[in-house]
Structure 1
Amino acid sequence: MKLAEGLLLRADLLKKIEHLQNRIRPVLIVSNKNKPQEDPDALLAQLRQAIEDLQAIVVRINKTNNDTVVEGEGTLMEALAKRDALKMLAEKLRNIRSASQIHNSGDLNLKSTIDIKKLQIEMDQTGRAFRELDSKIQELNWLTVLKD
């Protein structure tokens, strides 16, 4: 199994766990005369198994991320952390840029306290770095065999 397939399996298991929890809720309590529409014990067993399966795939994904090297970035785990940091920085810079815009308030005494042009250049560089790193990561996800 490739790493990307393991990541898809993890996402599916997370959805399955949420779905099972939502199916269990309505069958937990019924009136004395009624039977639940589904067996809560069977649903709980499925939930427990899905969580065990999730634990196993997360361990395999983490082992793979720690053992796989991304050219120029260190391990895949380090590249993922860097990608997350770039994504966060890009989002925060966009928010700052938006907040620094002076809208038509009619007050001629207002001015921005930051250099918008420099900020835009940093936003562009950050976005490009994120996209390039994300592409490397996605490629490795489909090329790398998931560790046992």
Structure 2
Amino acid sequence: MKLAEALAERAEAVRRVSQLRARIIGSARYQEGETPPENAAELLAESERVLDELEALIRRINATNAATRLDDGATVTDALARRDVLRLRHSLLTAPADAAAGADRRGAGRQLRSELLMLSALPVADLRGQADRLAREIRAVDTLIQRANWEVDLID
């Protein structure tokens, strides 16, 4: 099985646990004289099986990510950490750039002579340029990770 297939299975298992949780909650109580929609105890047992499978799958994914080297010599785990931090850096630049540019306000400048003029406290163009460079780096790291996901076999 390829790493990408394991990641898809992990996502499906997480969805399944979420669905089972909702069904368990929906069947946890019922009125006297009625039948619960489903057997909550059986659903709990099924969720435990899915969670055990999920744990084993996550262990294999993590082991594969830690052992797999990318073209730049970093492990997939290193690349995932890099991508996560790059995304945070990107949002740390774009949100203030949007705020400084008045993205949440319609129109620039004053509406009326009596209004105060709003000024930017940050260099919006510079922030956007830095954010663009980070976005390119994010895409490059993501491409390396995606390539590994489809080329690397999951460790047993």
Fold shared, TM-score > 0.5 on shorter chain: yes
Q: Distance in 2 between matches of 1:143 and 1:126?
A: 26
The range that moved more, 107-116 or 1-10, is: 107-116
Alignment of 1:63-74 (within 5 A): 63-72=63-72, 74=74
TM-score by length of 1: 0.92
Where in structure 2 are the equivalents of 1:1-148 lying within 5 Å? 1-72=1-72, 74-102=74-102, 104-106=108-110, 110-148=118-156
Partners of 1:26 and 1:127 lie apart in 2 by: 43
CA RMSD of aligned residues (A): 1.6
Please say if residues 94 and 127 of structure 2, whose CA atoms lie closer than 8 Å, have aligned partners that are also in contact. Answer: no
Residue 49 of structure 1 and its aligned partner are, at CA, apart by 0.4
Residues 102-132 of structure 1, C-alpha deviations (whole Å, 9 max, x = no match): 5534267643233222222211110000011
Q: Distance in 1 between matches of 2:109 and 2:125?
A: 22
Summarize the Cα distance change of 1:111–1:73 in structure 2 as closer, same or farther, 3 Å threshold. farther
CA contact (8 A) 1:73 1:79 kept: no
Q: Whole-Å Cα distance in 2 between the matches of residues 87 and 78 of structure 1? A: 14
Deviates more, 1:70-79 or 1:106-115: 106-115
Structure 2 length normalisation: TM-score? 0.87
Q: Distance in 2 between matches of 1:104 and 1:127?
A: 27
Unaligned runs of 5+ in 1: none
Deviation at 1:98, TM superposition (A): 0.6
Number of aligned positions between the proteins:
148
